[in-house]
Amino acid sequence: MLYRVSLNGKIYEVEVEKGEAVIQSEFDAAQPQAQPAVAPAPAAPQAAASAPQPAPSAAGSAAAINAPMPGNINAVKVASGQSVKKGEVLIILEAMKMENEIVAPKDGKIGQIYVQKGATVETGTPLIEVL
C-alpha cells in the first residue's frame, strides 16, 4: 500500500508491504498560497475603517496540527497556554511500531489540545493548536 506522509515540511511517499516500509520518493511540501478576498474591494476598506477586528487576525495566525497518519498517542509533551519554539516536540504519535514526533510549526503558545495519551487517531484528526 502506498501512503503520502507530510512531516516537517516534506512529503514522503512510503510503500508499506508485509510489515516493511520503503520510501519511494521525497519532496518539499508546497506552502499554501493566500486565497484572493471574496468580498468586493469597496466593502473591505469600510469594514476595516469602521472597527478593528482582532479576532480574525488572531484566528488566522493559529496553526492547527492534524495527525499525518493513523496511530496511537504515546505522549502529549505540552500543556495548554505553554509557550513553544518552532521545532519543539509537542506530541509523540506511534504508528507502525515507530514513534513519530509531532513538532511545533512556528513559535507561539499552545491553544487547545484535542487529544490525550492513549487516544487512537486517524489521518487528519486534529491534535493540537499553536497560536
Q: Is 92 exposed, middle or buried (0-12, 13-18, 19+ CB in 10 A)?
A: middle
Residue 86 included in any domain: yes
Q: Which has more confidence, 84 or 51?
A: 84
**Structural domain that includes position 24:** 1-29
The torsion defined by the Cα of 86, 23, 116 and 56, in degrees rounded to 10, comes to: 50
The mean pLDDT value for 5-12 works out to: 74
CA atoms of 121 and 54, how far apart (whole Å): 33
- Are 68 and 122 contained in the same domain? yes
Q: Which has more confidence, 2 or 116?
A: 116
Residue 41 included in any domain: no
- Are 13 and 70 contained in the same domain? no
- Are 84 and 130 contained in the same domain? yes
Give me the number of domains the chain comprises.
2
Q: Which has more confidence, 3 or 53?
A: 3
What is the distance of C-alpha 33 from the center of its chain?
Answer: 16
The mean pLDDT value for 58-83 works out to: 85
Q: Model pTM greater than 0.75?
A: no
- Are 76 and 130 contained in the same domain? yes
pLDDT of residue 8: 74
Q: What is the CA radius of gyration of the chain?
A: 18
- Are 126 and 69 contained in the same domain? yes
**pLDDT tens digits, 36-54:** 555 555 554 444 444 444 4
Residue 55 included in any domain: no
- Are 21 and 72 contained in the same domain? no
Residue 81 included in any domain: yes
